[in-house]
Structure 1
Amino acid sequence: MSDVAIWAVPFGLVGGRLYHVITDNDLYFGAGRRPIEALFIWNGGLGIWGAIALGALGAWIGARRREIRLAVLADALAPGLLLAQALGRFGNYFNQELFGRPTTLPWGLEISPEKRPPGFGEFATFHPTFLYEAVWNVIGMALIIWLGRRFALGHGRVFALYVMWYCAGRSWIEMLRIDTIELNDVLGLRWGVWMSIVLFLLALGYFVRAGRHGPREESPYDPERRAAWLARTEPGPDAETDTSTTEADPAPDEAR
């Protein structure tokens, strides 16, 4: 996972930033703006859709270099991605950003006057959409772990469930938000809602198609394959020692 992350994380950061700049380019290329600030990622501005897209490309490169099947890797990563996104959303709380419509509910989020959008200055508390999404993601993490084990889902179907679950939650949470971006209103819906609908349908189609392959794949642990890989990548006495150990392993399932 660490070797794959070396590729996936930088690709994800670049993708997230590109998506943000493209969908809200007036912040950087509008009149009186400084285009160089598009590179200032420490000032905020990362889009999850772009991060997932290019992050997946980076993961694919890392998986190929390690001779790991991408579908197996994606299924293993899916629950952790939901947890990571849940933790990441608390950055919105500290930055007082991406909150929802005004509300008088007991868990309403207090927003500083200077952080409120134009037209909402008289309201003090708003829907904590960051919290809604964090809770939604944690529930989804537990759910897809259970479904994956209960029905022996494999061939990328656990990852497809992750995409469907996240998109289903993001669509209704997005409707609560009042932040504005350049592509905020497309045919009466926010851009994020359209993205959620399209990606949900694509993930659903993949889930149905992948179901034809049957239950989860056999364990990817293969002593002979690993020995051959070690011989290519780590030649020398250490590789030979590891080769003899893995070839003599009588219980590959337990090793997994």
Structure 2
Amino acid sequence: MTSVVGSSVAVLAYIPSPPQGVWYIGPIALRAYALFIIVGIVVAVVWGDRRWVARGGTKGTVLDVAVWAVPFGLLGGRIYHVITDWSTYFGPGGDPVRALKVWEGGLGIWGAVLLGGVGAWIACRRRGIPLPAFGDAVGPPILLAQAIGRIGNYFNQELYGRETTRAWGLEIFERVDSAGRLDPLTGVSNGVIEKVVHPTFLYELLWSLAIVVLLVIVDRRYAIGHGRLFALYVAGYCAGRFWVELLRDDYATHIAGIRVNTFTSAIVFVLAVLYFVLAKKGREDPASLESKDHTSASAQTEKTESEKTESNESEAMELEESEKDPAPRSGHEKDSPGK
């Protein structure tokens, strides 16, 4: 009897998956995955800009850089995903066209960080600001955006782990279309539970939030700059991604028998730690963080104000001279004869 009750409690405690991840308003599809990515980007830009200004940077710089970094990051994330899951799109029975359908899910964080970094580098050079310092400001916000994006994986019923009987296991439902055919991506749950699995997306989400808090505390307590805080973000995320990958048994590309994301996490972790140890200590001079455009605009404003002041002073001097030395009378003007 006790075992039956315990089993019932465990089943009641399972985390249910959302019934669907896509809603339609007429012909328009609203996808939870895309929504949470957008929310994450907005949060990262707003918070990142505040952090950048607090470190001495110019307001609005983060948005300007994001215009370059976000498209590059999305492209890099998709390329990484397609390369590491090649057979799904180009293998037997694969559909190459699906490689272009980013809205269906599938963005690799390492590709996003790599190409997103290239986009940020281009923008930072255009603005005349140091990329490492910029990375320190936006590192925690980027990781928070990643955590928010993981909620989209929840709605897509993806990035989950091995089957489990743990009380916090995640129920994966069958999803079907209007004709009753299986449709995992755009279908609606029919109430049938396929399996109960480790919610690895949730593990990664919680781990990321913990690292965000840690980064903020470290940044406030110590004067960390020159890209070292960004390196801590990368190392912290890699450590979490490494153990999360060990809980997954879904299909994945392997290198020497190791899941490619586990392999990549280990390598990037080592590189991030090396950068943190070898990079310059301390923090940048706040004056070096002002964008070139802002500095030029300030200089031009000061020059204009100076010219106005000099012009006003010159006019005042001319007026004063004219009052001291009144103009002589014309030659034809003569004194009137006395009477």
Structure 1 partner of 2:281: 214
Structure 2 partner of 1:93: 154
Is the CA contact 2:127–2:293 (under 8 Å) kept in the aligned structure 1?
no
Matches within 5 A, 1:1-256: 1-113=62-174, 124-181=195-252, 183=253, 185-210=254-279, 213-220=280-287, 228-230=295-297, 240=301
Structure number having the greater strand percentage:
2
Is the CA contact 2:88–2:94 (under 8 Å) kept in the aligned structure 1?
yes
Q: CA deviation at 1:198?
A: 0.2
TM-score (norm 2): 0.63
Q: CA deviation at 1:107?
A: 1.2
Structure 1 partner of 2:48: none
More RCO (CA 8 Å, sep 6+): 2
What is the one-letter code of the residue matched to 2:156?
N
What is the one-letter code of the residue matched to 1:203?
A
Is the CA contact 2:68–2:119 (under 8 Å) kept in the aligned structure 1?
yes
Q: Which has the larger radius of gyration?
A: 2
Cα distance in structure 2, aligned partners of 1:21 and 1:42: 14
Q: CA deviation at 1:149?
A: 2.1
Distance 1:243 1:55, change over 3 A: farther
What is the one-letter code of the residue matched to 2:242?
S
Is the CA contact 1:89–1:131 (under 8 Å) kept in the aligned structure 2?
yes
Q: CA deviation at 1:178?
A: 2.1
Cα distance in structure 2, aligned partners of 1:169 and 1:223: 34
Unmatched tracts of structure 2, length 5 or more: 1-61, 176-183, 185-191, 307-339
Task: Provide the alpha-carbon RMSD of the alignment.
Answer: 2.5
TM-score (norm 1): 0.82
Distance 1:17 1:209, change over 3 A: same
Q: Percent identity?
A: 51
Is the CA contact 1:227–1:242 (under 8 Å) kept in the aligned structure 2?
no
Q: CA deviation at 1:162?
A: 0.2
Q: CA deviation at 1:229?
A: 2.5
What is the one-letter code of the residue matched to 1:46?
L
Cα distance in structure 2, aligned partners of 1:222 and 1:31: 52
Cα distance in structure 2, aligned partners of 1:64 and 1:127: 43
Give the number of aligned pairs: 230
